[in-house]
C-alpha cells in the first residue's frame, strides 16, 4: 500500500472523527454476555474447557488451561471491566482467571506470558492482588528455566523434535513483558538479563534486511549456531507471515518501553515501515494472512494480525515525535475498519467479537474464523486509543 493511499485514508478518518471506540461498549458487553451463555453450554459437554479459543464447524471450541490461548478470554473480561467499569465484568474476570493458576509451574512451554500475564497480569494491574502478584512471579521463574545462555534465548517449543532442536519463534517476544514486570517487582536481575538477551538474539537472527522476520529459528544448543530459518505458519520459509510481523512490532515497541534502549525503538519502526509500506497491504489495512501469498487478493485475511498491529502502533506512537501522528492515525483507521467490516453479528459466532482471523493456514487450522486473541488485542487497542484521547 502506497504512502499516498495511506495519507488519503487518514484524511478521511480525521474528517470523520475518532470517537467510534466509546460507542462500542454496549456492543462488546452484549456479545460477551452471549459468550457466557455459550460457554456454559460448552462446559456441560466438556467440563475440562476453561476458555473459548475459536469456532470449529460452527461450534464453540473450548480449551484446557494448558493451551497457549487459555489466558486471553480472562484478559478480555478484565479489559471489558476496565473499559466499562461495570463490576459484573470484574467478577467474571476473576472466575475465568482462577483456573489458569496451575500453569505457573508448566516448564514445558514458552507461552506462560500469554497464559498468565494476559489473565493474572491484567487482573493485578487493574485490581492489585498479592496472590496474583506471586503467581506471575512464579510463572516468570518457570519461564526463565527455558533460557539457554549458550543460545541467548528462551526455547519456544518442546514438540516437533524431528524438525527442530532448539526452536525459537517470533511469538516468544510477547512473553518478555512478563519478565520485565517481574524484574521491576522483585529487582531480581535474572528476569531483565533473560529478556534482553532473548530480544537481542531474536533481533540478530530472525529479521531480514527489509525488516520482515522469519517465524522459527532453530539453534544448536551446544554452540548457539543457527541451524535453520523457517516460517512454519506462513506461505513459505522466505515469506512474511502477517501475524509474525505483528508480534515483532509489538514485542520491540514493548522492549523499548521497558529498557529505553534506542535500538529497540529503531527496530520497531523498521518493522512498522515494512508493514505499512508493503505493496500487499490492502487499502483497509487488514493484512492477508501472509504478505507473500501468490493468491492475493484471493487469500484469507488475518484480523488478529491487524488488531495486534493497531495495539502496537498506539504504543509506538508515544515513543516517537516524527511518526507519532502517523502511527496513531493508522491504528485508529485499522480499528475503524475492523469495526465496520469484521465484527461478528450480536448473538452469533459463540460470542466472539471479531471474525476473519487465520491461525495456521498451512496446517488447515482456524482459517477465516473468530479467534480469541484477535478480540484480546482489539480490546487492548481500544483502551490504548481511549487513553491517548484523555
What is the model's pLDDT at position 13? 46
Q: What's the pLDDT tens digit per position in 124-168?
A: 999 999 999 999 999 999 999 999 999 999 999 999 999 999 999
Catalytic residue among 67, 111, 302, 355: 111
What is the model's pLDDT at position 3? 54
Average pLDDT rounded to a whole number, residues 84-111: 98
Is 293 one of the annotated active-site residues of the chain? no
Catalytic residue among 106, 134, 162, 171: 171
Distance of CA 137 to the CA centre of its chain: 21
The answer to whether residues 217 and 236 touch, using CB atoms and an 8 Å cutoff, is: no
What is the model's pLDDT at position 17? 43
Average pLDDT rounded to a whole number, residues 276-281: 98
- Of the listed ranges 17-26, 147-156, 319-328, the least confidently predicted one is 17-26
Please indicate whether residue 47 or residue 175 has the higher confidence score (pLDDT): 175
Percent of the chain beyond pLDDT 90?
92
CA angle, 302 then 338 then 62, to 5° = 60
The mean pLDDT value of the chain amounts to 94
What is the domain partition of the chain in residue ranges? 1-47+280-390
The answer to whether residues 288 and 242 touch, using CB atoms and an 8 Å cutoff, is: yes
- Helices marked H in the chain: 3-16, 25-45, 72-84, 87-97, 112, 122-126, 130-144, 176-186, 189-206, 242-259, 262-276, 303-317, 324-341, 372-389
What is the full DSSP assignment across 226-239?
A: EEEEE-TTSSSTTS
- Residue 184, pLDDT > 70, answer yes
What span, in angstroms and rounded, lies between the C-alpha atoms of 275 and 71? 27
What is the model's pLDDT at position 375? 98
What is the model's pLDDT at position 6? 52
Q: Which residues contact 32 (CB under 8 A, 6 or more apart)?
A: 76, 77, 80, 89, 351, 353
What is the model's pLDDT at position 14? 47
- Of the listed ranges 24-28, 182-186, 214-218, 263-267, the least confidently predicted one is 24-28
Percent of the chain beyond pLDDT 70?
94
Query: Domain spanning 1-47+280-390: which CATH class is it, in words?
Result: mainly alpha
The answer to whether residues 378 and 354 touch, using CB atoms and an 8 Å cutoff, is: yes
Is 171 one of the annotated active-site residues of the chain? yes
Distances (CA, A) of 115 to 74, 197, 324, 326, 384: 9, 22, 31, 32, 21
What is the model's pLDDT at position 4? 53
What span, in angstroms and rounded, lies between the C-alpha atoms of 78 and 72? 10
- Residue 19, pLDDT > 60, answer no
What span, in angstroms and rounded, lies between the C-alpha atoms of 214 and 210? 12
- Residue 99, pLDDT > 80, answer yes
- Helices marked H in 295-367: 303-317, 324-341
Query: Where residue 5 falls among pLDDT bands split at 50, 70, 90?
Result: low
Amino acid at each position: 500500500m502506497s504512502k499516498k493511499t495511506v495519507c488519503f485514508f487518514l484524511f478521511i478518518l480525521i474528517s470523520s472523527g475518532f470517537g467510534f471506540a466509546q460507542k462500542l461498549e454496549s456492543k462488546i458487553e452484549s456479545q460477551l454476555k452471549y459468550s457466557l451463555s455459550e460457554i456454559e453450554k460448552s462446559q456441560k459437554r466438556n467440563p475440562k474447557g476453561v476458555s473459548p479459543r475459536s469456532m470449529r464447524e460452527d461450534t464453540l471450541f473450548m480449551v484446557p488451561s494448558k493451551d497457549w490461548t487459555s489466558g486471553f478470554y480472562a484478559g478480555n473480561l478484565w479489559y471489558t471491566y476496565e473499559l466499562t467499569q461495570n463490576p459484573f465484568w470484574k467478577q467474571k474476570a476473576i472466575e475465568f482467571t482462577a483456573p489458569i493458576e496451575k500453569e505457573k509451574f508448566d516448564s514445558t512451554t514458552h507461552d506462560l506470558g500469554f497464559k498468565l500475564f494476559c489473565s493474572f497480569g491484567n487482573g493485578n494491574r487493574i485490581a492489585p492482588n498479592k496472590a496474583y502478584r506471586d503467581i506471575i512471579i512464579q510463572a516468570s521463574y518457570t519461564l526463565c528455566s527455558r533460557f539457554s545462555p549458550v543460545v541467548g534465548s528462551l526455547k519456544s517449543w518442546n514438540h516437533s523434535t524431528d524438525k527442530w532442536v532448539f526452536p525459537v519463534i517470533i511469538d516468544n517476544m510477547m512473553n518478555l513483558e512478563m519478565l520485565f514486570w517481574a524484574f521491576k517487582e522483585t529487582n531480581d536481575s535474572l528476569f531483565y538479563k533473560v529478556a534482553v538477551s532473548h530480544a537481542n538474539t531474536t533481533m540478530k537472527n530472525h529479521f531480514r534486511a527489509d525488516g520482515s522476520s522469519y517465524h522459527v529459528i532453530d539453534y544448536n544448543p551446544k554452540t548457539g549456531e543457527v541451524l535453520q530459518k523457517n516460517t512454519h505458519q506462513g506461505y513459505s520459509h522466505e515469506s512474511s507471515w502477517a501475524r509474525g510481523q505483528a508480534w515483532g512490532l509489538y514485542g520491540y515497541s514493548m522492549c523499548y518501553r521497558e529498557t529505553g534502549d534506542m535500538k529497540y525503538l529503531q527496530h520497531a519502526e523498521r518493522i512498522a515501515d515494512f508493514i505499512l509500506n508493503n505493496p500487499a497491504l490492502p487499502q483497509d489495512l487488514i493484512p492477508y494472512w501472509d504478505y507473500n501469498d501468490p493468491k492475493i487478493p484471493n487469500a484469507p485475511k488475518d484480523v488478529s494480525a491487524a488488531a495486534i498491529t493497531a495495539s502496537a502502533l498506539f504504543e509506538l506512537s508515544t515513543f516517537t515525535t516524527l511518526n507519532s501522528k502517523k502511527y496513531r492515525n493508522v491504528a485508529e483507521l485499522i480499528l475503524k475498519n475492523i469495526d465496520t467490516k469484521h465484527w461478528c453479528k450480536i448473538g452469533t459466532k459463540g460470542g466472539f467479537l471479531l471474525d476473519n482471523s487465520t491461525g495456521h493456514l498451512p496446517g488447515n487450522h482456524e482459517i477465516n474464523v473468530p479467534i480469541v486473541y484477535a478480540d484480546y488485542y482489539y480490546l487492548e487497542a481500544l483502551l490504548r486509543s481511549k487513553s491517548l484521547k484523555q
